Structure 1
Amino acid sequence: MKHLTFLFQYIVNPKTVGAILPSSSFLGDKMIEHINFDNAKYIVEYGPGTGVFTEKLLKKRNPNTIIMLLENNEEFYLLLKEKFKMEKNLYIVNGSAEKIEQYLQKYKVPYADYVISGLPFASLPEQVSHNILLNTSKILDKDGQFITFQYTKMKKALIEQFFTKIEIKRELRNVPPAYVFNCSIKEKNVEENYGIENSYCG
């Protein structure tokens, strides 16, 4: 049933949904493999869709960890509200990731340790992508990570404008195969003192 829902939403909203099928469990595992669930206090997910990544986050998180889901598609939002209605410390917001700062303030979330994203930057308007990445870099904790997947590397240069370290891994067991971008911002003094390169690519 969720596959049919996803396919219909792709037909109606191809630029914001970005794929004809939900992400695979294999891709989900790769998206969360670097999350320190013992220490993470706040996790944000952009574009959770039918909740493939969300289920994994909820299963592994510390019960006290707050998770915020930001879903712009109303049908997916309603599906998520019903699917996860019994979960504690979970906020589900129907809105744009461009306004993440506003939503964090509303729910008194001071920052994000991790931001997980299923947004298709390749098909979003350039300015929208710019705003989302800029605001994401603002809300992350100093050791925070932005983790996104894309079907090509064409937006790597755009993401590098906001994140100084990017590690990329490929997941072939997805339709279509995807690249996972693990992004962070290194402190200036580390770059200067140790001369570490600005970008890493798998």
Structure 2
Amino acid sequence: MKKESFIYQYLFNPRSVGAVRPSSKFLSKRMVEEINFKDTKYIVEYGPGTGVFTEEILERRNKNTIIVLIEYNQVFYQLLKGKFANVSNIIIIFGSAEYVQHYLMEYNIPYADYIISGLPFASLPHYVANEILSNTLSVLKTGGEFVTFQYTKVKIPFMRNYFPKITVKKEYRNIPPAYILHCKL
């Protein structure tokens, strides 16, 4: 089993990898379908893993849009660095989403229009999830949106503490099926 495989990373890093396989193309499309790519300047992605959502974002984005990837898993970080080495306007950071504010300041990025998340909130320690969502609010542009997916609805009440307006959709063509949460203030 290669250490780059999703299942290997899930088995040995279950807190940072929430699935045994990458998200489906169907889920990727649903995660980004409501982004206004024409007018978006900054998109941040938490936990891009092998980059399936990133690929969908890059395919649709305005070429001037800056994409910031924050990956906590060292193996996936290295994979992303190689995969997107020749892509313009992409910043790949090895770190934790709870420090998003610091990272954006470091790169002189004033805000995020959209934050797309592949983080497994159900398996994150509560204090880490709190920090991530709190700092997400601090960098999200007024009218911006936080989009995440989860395999259960168990964390929705927790997320409503930060985002009172959450629209939930389900993508059945993913293994396992996933709930897509569009979170707004």
Query: TM class by shorter-chain length?
Result: over 0.9
* TM-score normalised by L of structure 2: 0.98
TM-score by length of 1: 0.89
Shift, 1:4, TM fit: 6.1
- Deviating above 3 A after TM superposition, structure 1's stretches of 4 or more consecutive aligned residues are 1-4
1:107-127 deviations in whole A, cap 9, x for unaligned? 111000000000000000001
CA offsets, 1:10-55, max 9 Å, x none?
1110121011000000000110010000000000000000000000
Partner Cα separation in structure 2 for residue 129 and residue 92 of structure 1: 21
Q: Which has the larger radius of gyration?
A: 1
Per-residue CA deviation, residues 90-123 of structure 1 (Å, 9 max, x unaligned), is 0000000000000000011100000000000000
Q: Which amino acid aligns with 1:37?
A: F
Alpha-carbon separation, structure 1, partners of 2:90 and 2:146: 19
Aligned to 2:55: 55
Q: Cα RMSD between the aligned structures? A: 1.3
Do the aligned residues in 2 keep the contact of 1:3 with 1:22 (CA within 8 Å)?
A: no
- 1:154-192 CA-partner distances (Å, limit 9, x unpaired): 00011100112100000011111100000011xxxxxxx
Matched with 1:178 is: 178
State the percentage of identical aligned residues.
56
Alpha carbons of structure 1 residues 126 and 61: separation in structure 2 relative to 1, 3 Å: same
Q: Which amino acid aligns with 1:86?
A: N
SS in 2 for 1:17: coil
- Secondary structure of the structure 2 residue equivalent to 1:40: coil
Gapped regions of structure 1 (runs ≥ 5): 186-202
Q: 1:27 — aligned with what?
A: 27
Q: Is the 8 A contact 1:2 1:50 kept in 2?
A: no
Matches within 5 A, 1:155-170: 155-170=155-170
Amino acid at match of 2:105: Q
Q: What displacement does 1:7 show?
A: 1.0
Give the letter for the 1:56 counterpart: E
Matched residue of 1:15: which SS? coil
SS at 1:87 equivalent = coil
1:147 — aligned with what?
A: 147
Does the 8 Å CA contact 2:4/2:75 hold for their aligned counterparts? no
